[in-house]
Amino acid sequence: MFAACLIILEQIFLYVPLMLGAYLSFSLMKVPNLSIEVSFVSGAIMASKVLALTQNMGIVVSLLCACIASLIGGAFVGIVMGLLVTHAKLPHLLASILTIGLFYGVNLFMLGGANISLTPFENPLSVFALPAHPELITLGLISLVIFILCFLLCKTQLGVSFAIYGNNPSFFDFYNISRTYIMSLGLLITSMLSGLSGYLVAQSSSFVDINAGTGISLFCLTALILGKSLIPTKKNIAIFVPIGGLVIYCVIQQVLLKVGFNLKYFTMLQSIIVLVLLMIKYRRRTVQELTSDHLGV
């Protein structure tokens, strides 16, 4: 039981940055930013390159550089996605699909193969010389820092602008506020957070895989919908909803594993969970609400 709790905690800490990024993009901005699937891998690849370069610089420097590199790796994807939406004027979904295609090739080239191992490098997550669970403590601290930063961001003009974008994107045009700036930064932050999660997951499993990001959009949507459906929302603390959803998701996954469910069918189960929750929710919705909220989160 204790071991299962530790696994759940680790899962939560690994995916907190990704969930917050997805919350910003999917829930606040209502943008179907599927490019998180490639920024997840880009962040991991960039961090793995930096890990190789910082092996002799000490574990703290190595950890900091790897985290920053993963943010930058994700940012590249966010910038390209942002340019496609704001300058090439492509719809969000099409821009996402093109970005995925583009960066699949870039990632493959950067990685030099389908996957690479991180075991030759010292594990920066064990930066704290603790007798038990040093990695978990580091992951927890990283997640906490990211959560606090996102919580503070949501209180600022920029954070609120993301929510206004999701409510009415044309709002900004009437008050001389740059919609392009808000859109670009939103996508950038989402991709950076996804990149960081990509690195944490890769470091935790000790290898970077080109297909590591496949299916994380559905994972994010499932967790967000679970959070929105099962956790009472108050406007001031809405940022706890994606975290709550993530906790529920990880608990469900572990419970299913304990009862002998084969996790290779879990993607199917995710879709069923999303479907059931949305069907219950949409029964009470008006046509207007349906058209304004494409993702149900």
Partner 1 sequence: MTIHKILKKTLELKDLCFRFAKDKPFFFKDLSIVFDSKTINFVRGKNGAGKSTLFRLLQGNITQQEQVAGSIQISDTSYQLETHDHIDGVRLVHQKFDSMLADQFSFDDNMRFAGIARYPKLASLPDCAPLPDFLQRFGIDHTKPVKLLSGGQRQILAILMVLQKPTKVLLLDEPTAALDEQNTNMVMEFLAELVRTTDVIIIMICHDKELVLRYARDGYCELRVDQDTGLRSIEKIN
Assess 157 for contact with partner 1 (CB under 8 A). yes
From 42-50, 157-165, 212-220, 274-282, span contacting partner 1 (CB under 8 A)? 157-165
**What is the contact mask toward partner 1 in residues 27 to 46, using x (rule: CB under 8 A)?**
--------------------
Half-sphere exposure for 145 (CA within 13 Å, toward CB): 9
Q: Say if residues 44 and 248 touch (Cβ distance below 8 Å).
A: no
CA 201-203-204 angle, 5° bins = 65
Assess 171 for contact with partner 1 (CB under 8 A). yes
**What is the contact mask toward partner 1 in residues 175 to 194, using x (rule: CB under 8 A)?**
xxxx--xx------------
Least Cβ distance, residue 151 to partner 1 (angstroms): 13
From 124-132, 173-181, 244-252, 276-284, span contacting partner 1 (CB under 8 A)? 173-181
Least Cβ distance, residue 158 to partner 1 (angstroms): 4
Assess 222 for contact with partner 1 (CB under 8 A). no
Cα pseudo-dihedral 52, 58, 59, 63, rounded to 10: -60
| Residues 128-147 interacting with partner 1 (rule: CB under 8 A) | none
Phi and psi torsions of 237, nearest 5°: -120, 30
Q: Say if residues 197 and 22 touch (Cβ distance below 8 Å).
A: no
Nearest to 38 by CA among 28, 48, 46, 30: 46
> Radius of gyration (Cα) for the chain, nearest Å?
19
Amino acid sitting at position 267: T
Assess 155 for contact with partner 1 (CB under 8 A). yes
Least Cβ distance, residue 123 to partner 1 (angstroms): 33
d(CA 273, CA 276): 5
Find the binder of partner 1 among 59, 137, 153, 278 (CB under 8 A). Answer: 153
Find the binder of partner 1 among 115, 117, 167, 271 (CB under 8 A). Answer: 167
- Alpha-carbon distance values, 114 to 107, 205, 251 (Å): 9, 15, 30
Q: Point out which residues bind partner 1 (CB under 8 A).
A: 153, 155-158, 160-161, 164, 167-168, 170-171, 174-178, 181-182
